[in-house]
């Protein structure tokens, strides 16, 4: 990794990177740098294949992915369980990991309201996208780390393309794209309590607010690739200056 970042890539001189963290790093190496977060083609039919129908009686959260070392999936399950105990009518669907795998990884087996928190294990991407489109909010939690600062979560881009607002923590450049109350809720920091507060704000939204947020996600097209065409042109025009 050291040889790749400090020697090999700076020799290339023209760098397309996914985060402002990496942009700053390669700018200091005097490279021609273009920042492109995880972009989506919002016109792709897979992001528009299912209709969102909200419920007055339940706020549906969705988590997709394998938690690995990047994410605090235990935050998600704990928060939804805590909201249920506070009297909020919420539920959580989890795709990508089974209940047994979750318990083995986190050693937690006493937090489950099994009627409201459901594990589906690994599912095809098409089914996950359908579940995202049918949910009120997609959610995930990450802590600050070198890997999370240098990357950018594709699941954030995909959720917005599906029209589904996101509740998450402020890692990478998410704060530049998430507008509180419009396309999601962003925790003030990466602590559990701050994430729980953001989830609580989502749980308190009315049916009409959730409809409005879904419409905003669809119409705003925050991370649609066409939004970055002009930046790409400028980057290409600079290529000769950095040979």
Cα–Cα distance between 65 and 154 in angstroms, integer? 10
Cα–Cα distance between 20 and 156 in angstroms, integer? 16
pLDDT along the chain (243 residues), means of 10: 90 94 95 96 95 94 84 93 95 93 81 85 94 97 93 96 98 97 98 98 97 97 97 90 66
**At a CB cut-off of 8 Å and minimum separation 6, what does 42 contact?**
161, 218, 221, 224
Q: What is the mean pLDDT of the chain?
A: 93
Helix or strand or coil: residue 90? strand
Cα–Cα distance between 202 and 8 in angstroms, integer? 44
């Amino acid at each position: 990794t050291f040889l790749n970042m400090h020697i090999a890539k700076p020799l290339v001189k023209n760098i397309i990177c996914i985060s402002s963290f990496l942009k700053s790093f390669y700018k200091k190496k005097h490279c021609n740098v273009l920042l492109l977060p995880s972009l989506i083609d919002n016109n792709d039919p897979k992001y528009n294949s299912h209709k969102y129908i909200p419920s007055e009686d339940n706020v549906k959260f969705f988590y997709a992915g394998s938690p690995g070392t990047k994410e605090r999936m235990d935050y998600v399950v704990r928060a939804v369980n805590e909201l249920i105990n506070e009297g909020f009518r919420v539920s959580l669907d989890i795709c990508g990991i089974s209940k047994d795998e979750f318990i083995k990884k986190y050693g937690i087996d006493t937090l489950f309201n099994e009627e409201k928190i459901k594990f589906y294990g690994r599912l095809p991407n098409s089914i996950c996208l359908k579940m995202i489109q049918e949910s009120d909010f997609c959610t995930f939690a990450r802590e600050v780390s070198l890997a999370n600062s240098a990357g950018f979560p594709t699941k954030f881009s995909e959720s917005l393309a599906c029209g589904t607002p996101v509740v998450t923590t402020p890692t990478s450049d998410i704060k530049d794209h998430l507008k509180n109350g419009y396309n999601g809720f962003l925790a003030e920091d990466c602590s559990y309590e701050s994430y729980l507060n953001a989830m609580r704000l989502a749980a308190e939204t009315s049916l009409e607010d959730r409809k409005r947020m879904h419409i905003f996600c669809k119409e705003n097209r925050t991370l649609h690739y066409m939004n970055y065409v002009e930046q790409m042109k400028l980057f290409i025009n600079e290529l000769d200056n950095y040979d």
